[in-house]
Amino acid sequence: MSFSAQHFQKQLHDLTIDLNHNELFTLTTTHWLVDLSRHYLSRKQLKQLTVWLEHHDFIQQKNQLFDDNILNFTENRPVNHVLLRDSQQIFSCSQHTAMAIDFNRQQIFVNHFHAEQNEITDLLTIGIGGSHLGPNLITDALKEFCSTKLKTHYLTGTDPYELSAIFKQLNPKTTLVFVASKSFSTLETLWNYQQIKAWFELELASSATKHFIAITNNQDKALSMGFLKEYIFSVPDSIGGRFSLWSAIGLAMRLSLGEAQYQALLAGAHAMDVHFKEQPLNTNIPVLLAILDLFYGNCLDVQQRAVIPYSHRLRLLVPHLQQVEMESNGKSVDIMGDTVPYRTGLAVWGGVGPNSQHSFHQWFYQGTVLTPIDFIALQGNSAYPDFEQLLLSQCLAQAKALWEGQSSENAAQATQGGKPSTLFLSKSLNPRSLGELIALYEHKVFSSGLLTNTNTFDQFGVEAGKRQGIAMLAAINDAPSTLDPITENILNHLNDLC
């Protein structure tokens, strides 16, 4: 029987919540242990839901991700980011020749760069959203695996203070600039590129061009802007921005990691692809996490989920996941174009533990809002095992305390408990384990899209916002009389300030 999101919602609402189910539920992948014991749904109830999904065509829908189907149905595009970490598939299928060529070009570029003597010490990526968040997460979290000869920098928004900081840090002579933009029409990226290009031309004259690499789906525009053809790398239309770190968008990251560690990153993601494709639904971690999100959102009026890595190196994970999750599942219209009558994606926020304990955990303990938490912890392999044991203990303690609560005769000191969480635990943070974790969340948001009959892979809302930005600038500069009354009033009051 075919899947119906409405019918699935009924399955969720028919469940009886038993907070005292006491069922242990721990799943493992190659590098991660994922514990689901502290949730409002028991292992038995989750299995009941996955059996229903099996009987309603969900496995076939899920595994469309591994075919060339048009999954981005509103933009009539296939979705191929999983292909990027399966080089065997890329090179064996004739319809992926272009991808194979891209893959080879990048590999030759990276190997040649590391083989030749050159004076490049800094890699600057100009990009925003998926053209920045994923690569920056990787080079920041995996710094110990990256080249010590290359420093990576990112220039993202239109705050001139970000730009001026780059001017102070870099020397055009020893810097390679990657202009990462799938569309090559993103305002922030184009404005930043113009400034950096002008600076390089001032310093390097005609040789400036050889310091600029374009990474885009819009090759014609890159050529028209003066990029050398051999310095343009392609991002296929079938690779969504928030899923593009595995593509040429991550070229500076690939240079910094080096080919072996980059392949390990891909291998980790591929291991999760295999898990997602082959695991039965009742032990399929991305599917189970998607079910839990939908259950909390639709049966307990939960609107958000916190992600708290107990790892300083994963401090950029939340910004990346915010785009992956909220740009993918922040939807309200289904495949038929009808407004969905249920909650889709949750808001994602968070921070690094144990710092978060001294910031917003009080709100978890005694606040009035139920917020499921993803705790992410590492056993560690550093030179400070005692610190790592403390850090892990702090994470485990928070998950326990929030779930169990603590009674007290003094009501002001009691904590309610019943705060659900998923614990993700790995032995260490390395390219493979991080690749696996990022792919896990990618598959979770795809599963959420399937369960709500929405398109995980478009982002028309944001595109509308982008156009508004351009129109506002034009109105302020050239036609203030066309400004809306509120904006006009705001700007008038601005002039009154000291």
Catalytic residue list = 327, 358, 466
Contact (CB, 8 A) for 138 and 287: no
Residue 400 Cβ vs ligand F6P, minimum distance, rounded to whole Å: 38
Angstrom distance (rounded) from CA 154 to CA 211:
15
Please select the residue that binds ligand F6P; options are 80, 131, 152, 455, rule is CB under 6 A: 131
Instruction: Give the range of 60-68, 126-134, 200-208, 426-434 binding ligand F6P by CB under 6 A.
Output: 126-134
* Segment interacting with ligand F6P, rule: CB under 6 A, options 123-131, 202-210, 303-311, 354-362: 123-131
Tokens of 480: 């203030």
Q: Give yes or no for a contact between 192 and 126, defined as CB atoms under 8 angstroms apart.
A: yes
> What secondary structure, in 3-state letters, does 130-172 show?
HHCHHHHHHHHHCHHHCCCCCEEEEECCCCHHHHHHHHHHCCH
- Rounded CA-CA distance 156/135 in Å is 12
Q: Which of 241, 297, 345, 431 lies at the binding interface for ligand F6P (CB under 6 A)? A: 241
Contact status: 282 vs ligand F6P (CB under 6 A): no
**Residue 465 CB, nearest distance to ligand F6P (Å)?**
8
Nearer to ligand F6P, 45 or 131 (CB): 131
Q: Which of 42, 152, 186, 284 binds ligand F6P (CB under 6 A)?
A: 186
Span from 31-39, 177-185, 192-200, 332-340 in contact with ligand F6P (CB under 6 A): 177-185
Residues contacting residue 260 through CB under 8 Å, at least 6 positions apart? none
Q: Which is nearer to ligand F6P, 128 or 399 (by Cβ)?
A: 128
Min separation Cβ 344 and ligand F6P, Å: 17
Position of minimal CB gap to ligand F6P: 241
The residues in 387-426 that bind ligand F6P, with binding defined as CB under 6 A, are: none
- Minimum distance from residue 69 beta carbon to ligand F6P (Å): 21
Give residues 421-460 in contact with ligand F6P (rule: CB under 6 A).
459
Residues 458-477 that bind ligand F6P (CB under 6 A): 459, 462
The verdict on 128 binding ligand F6P (CB under 6 A) reads yes
- Out of 45, 50, 87, 181, name the contact with ligand F6P by CB under 6 A: 181
Q: Does 350 bind ligand F6P (CB under 6 A)?
A: no
Q: Minimum distance between the CB of residue 186 and ligand F6P, rounded to whole angstroms?
A: 3
Query: Closest approach of Cβ 325 to ligand F6P, in Å?
Result: 13
CB of 127 to ligand F6P, least distance (A): 6
**Smallest gap from residue 238 Cβ to ligand F6P (A):** 14
Nearer to ligand F6P by Cβ, of 370 and 462: the residue is: 462
Is 182 one of the binding residues for ligand F6P (CB under 6 A)? yes
What x/- string results for residues 311 through 340 when contact with ligand F6P is judged by CB under 6 A? ----------------x-------------
* Nearer to ligand F6P (CB atom), residue 202 or residue 471: 471
Task: Report CA-CA distances (Å) from 49 to 10, 76, 292.
Answer: 11, 31, 11
Pick 316 or 352: Cβ nearer ligand F6P: 316
Among 96, 211, 242, 305, binds ligand F6P (CB under 6 A): 242
Q: In terms of CB distance, is 299 or 462 closer to ligand F6P?
A: 462
Burial class, 203, CB count within 10 angstroms (exposed 0-12 / middle 13-18 / buried 19+): middle
CB of 189 or CB of 311, closer to ligand F6P? 189
Per-residue binding string, ligand F6P, 188-227, x by CB under 6 A, is -x--------------------------------------
CA 459 and chain centroid, separation: 14
Number of residues counted as binding ligand F6P (CB under 6 A): 14
Binding site for ligand F6P (CB under 6 A): 128-131, 181-183, 186, 189, 241-242, 327, 459, 462
